[in-house]
Structure 1
Amino acid sequence: MDADSWDRRYAETELVWSADPNRFVADELTGLPPGSAVDLAAGEGRNALWLAGVGWRVTAVDFSAVALDKGRQIAVARGLDVTWVHADLADYRPPTADLVLIAYLHVPPALWQPVLGRAVAAVAPGGTLLLVGHDSTNLTEGTGGPQDLERLWSLDAVVASLGDLVVRRAERVHRPVEGARDAIDTLVRAERPAS
């Protein structure tokens, strides 16, 4: 889908996703000392807003202006400070940050590999990279998400793309979906050594 398609999708409803953070984002990052964070493919900002609420200085990036406007309105209503960046990840180079987050970005491999590479490079010394997305096994064993295998994540391929980051957690996790079988996600948390 292109930015116009996503703009239309975000315009059709109050919130496409929940206003709450993704459960794995909250579980993995609760207790991590706040610093600078960049949320790539932030959508309406559910994770960025949560991070800002617990003390992070957050930059939320997405190519949907409609989604960013929704996130901006929520931030104002909650009194949260988030920097909203309208950009296409095909070209965007994230700033160095203590936390780099990608949650549910599902694009063709020709785009995914450079985006992931730039995300890895943006992790500051001592910083964390957190990746959460629909796993390739979700297509046959789970529910929801893209139905195009090449857009789903492979745990092994993600881990192999992390360069000198130290992997702290890498696994397939189950996410309950009301009225359906669980969704299966790839969850990877990695850190860049402090020195």
Structure 2
Amino acid sequence: MDSDDWDARYAGSAELVWTAEPNRFVVAAAADLSPGDALDLAAGEGRNAVWLAERGWRVTAVDFSPVAVERGRQLAGRRGVPVRWQVADVTATAPEPDRYDLVVVAYLHLPPADLATVLAGTRRALRPGGTAVVVGHDRANLDAGTGGPRDPAILLTPEAVVAGLTGLRVDRAETARRPVAVAGGTVDALDTVVVARRPG
């Protein structure tokens, strides 16, 4: 999907397309970190960016959908927190090197070459001691989970993400279960979760 497709998807819903609550794996990875400068790549409607800002992080949130960015601005305004918003394609605009204490990449699904570009930018954007958190639908989700894209070429694996973060110290790399509410109960989605740090 290109930015126009995402604009249409976001504009077609009166409510947030995604929940306003932050992703559970981002929360787990960032909850005990000391706030500093954070970058949320492909931030969508800003749920993770706003959560970080509420905890004292100085957040820059980037997405190529102007509609998503505007929704993020509105969410931040309702929550009373500052976030620096940018409309940009994260595959074409590299973040500033050595600038961030935390970089979040959540549910960004791209062809392998584009994903490698984003992960390389993520790695370079970290300051010494900085943390990268990458979360997305795992390839195993096709057969054993629920939701997410159906194209295996754009789904993640822990191994592929770790390979794109060469030089970082990996603290967590796994396929994790994420309960999803459905009629009559819950089912598990399977997500790739990678948390890695730049040596300090």
TM-score normalized by the length of structure 1: 0.97
Which residue of 169, 178, 190 corresponds with 1:184?
Answer: 190
Distance in 1 between the 2:152 and 2:168 partners?
26
Alignment gaps of 5+ in structure 2: none
1:11-50 mapped onto 2 (5 Å cutoff): 11-13=11-13, 14-50=15-51
Is the CA contact 2:101–2:130 (under 8 Å) kept in the aligned structure 1?
Answer: yes
Q: Are 1:70 and 2:74 an aligned pair? A: no
* One-letter identity of the residue aligned with 2:53: A
Separation (CA, whole Å) in 1 of partners of 2:31 and 2:100: 17
In the alignment, the residues of structure 1 paired with residue 6 and residue 109 of structure 2 have an alpha-carbon distance, to the nearest angstrom, of 13
State the 1:38 CA deviation.
Answer: 0.2
- Give me the whole-angstrom Cα distance separating, in 2, the residues matched to 1:113 and 1:27: 24
Q: Which amino acid aligns with 2:103?
A: V
Partner of 1:5: 5
After superposition, give the CA deviation of every residue in 1:80-131 in whole Å (9 maximum; x if it has no partner).
Answer: 1000000011211113200011000001112111111111111110100000
**1:193 matches 2:193:** no
- The percentage of counterpart residues that share the same residue type is 56
Structure 2: how far apart are the matches of 1:162 and 1:31?
Answer: 22
Provide TM-score, normalisation by structure 2: 0.95
2:53 aligned partner: 52
> Aligned residue for 1:167?
170
Give the RMSD, CA atoms, in angstroms: 0.9
Asked whether the equivalents of residues 175 and 190 of structure 2 are also in contact (C-alpha less than 8 Å), the reply is yes
Deviation at 1:64, TM superposition (A): 0.4
Q: Which runs of 5+ in 1 are unaligned?
A: none
CA distance in 2, matches of 1:104, 1:10: 16
Task: Quote the Cα distance in structure 2 between the aligned partners of 1:21 and 1:119.
Answer: 20
One-letter code aligned to 2:54: G
Query: What residue is the counterpart of 1:104 in the other structure?
Result: 107
Task: Count residues in correspondence.
Answer: 194
Please identify, of 72-81 and 125-134, the stretch whose mean Cα deviation from structure 2 is larger.
72-81
Instruction: Give distance in 1, aligned partners of 2:54 and 2:95.
Output: 21
